[in-house]
Amino acid sequence: MFGFFKKKAPPPVVEDPLASFDAVLESMERQGQELRKSAATLLALKTQLMRDEARYRDQVKDLAQRIHEAGELGDAKAEQVLRRDEVATQHRLEETLKARAQADEDAGLLSWAVQEHVSRVEALKQERQSAQARLSAGVVVSEALKARVDEVERVLKLDRARDEIERAHALADIYREDAAKKR
């Protein structure tokens, strides 16, 4: 009905191209925080494993000394119990060494991941800076060209006005000649 109830199409949303860079950079910064948290957790784990290793080594030495003393005293029962404790402690030490080796390997992978992540973030920041510079330059060039287009439009209007004046003069000349012939 006469176009009153037609829905007008919303104007197209022009998304800031730099906003996409900013969103990705923000996401990568969050990932970087998670990597740093993982590194801190891994460092704490390695520290704990080193303490455990030192403690188990001390226990193994202590048990070896006590086994030796029990053997000298001829206490076979105590020696047997101490040997089982020594085996169990040696097993815990071996497990701790394996866990520490795994933590060292994980630390190497995490270190590589952090370096890779930092390099990607830096590359993206440089790309964003370059995009911002190109966008700014594009806006300046666009404004300059728009001014140039406006100037061209004025020149074209002037040319059209001149053409119109020439046609008016030509038409006036035709009417004068016509009038001169009729007299």
Q: Is the pTM of this model over 0.75?
A: no
Q: What pLDDT is stored for residue 182 in this prediction?
A: 78
- CA gap 16, 139 in Å, rounded: 13
- CA gap 100, 152 in Å, rounded: 76
Q: What pLDDT is stored for residue 170 in this prediction?
A: 84
Q: What pLDDT is stored for residue 178 in this prediction?
A: 80
Q: What pLDDT is stored for residue 92 in this prediction?
A: 97
- CA gap 160, 122 in Å, rounded: 55
- CA gap 60, 86 in Å, rounded: 6
Q: What pLDDT is stored for residue 11 in this prediction?
A: 59
**Whether CATH 2.40.50 fits 19-138:** no
Convert the chain into a string of H (helix), E (strand) and C (coil): CCCCCCCCCCCCCCCCHHHHHHHHHHHHHHHHHHHHHHHHHHHHHHHHHHHHHHHHHHHHHHHHHHHHHHHHHCCHHHHHHHHHHHHHHHHHHHHHHHHHHHHHHHHHHHHHHHHHHHHHHHHHHHHHHHHHHHHHHHHHHHHHHHHHHHHHHHHHHHHHHHHHHHHHHHHHHHHHHHHHHHC
Residuewise pLDDT in 10s, the chain (183 residues):
555 556 666 655 557 778 888 999 999 999 999 998 998 899 899 999 999 999 999 999 999 999 999 999 999 999 999 999 999 999 999 999 999 999 999 988 998 999 999 999 999 999 989 988 888 887 778 887 777 777 888 888 888 888 888 888 888 888 788 878 876
* Sequence letter at residue 64: A
What's CA 82's distance to the chain center, in Å?
A: 57
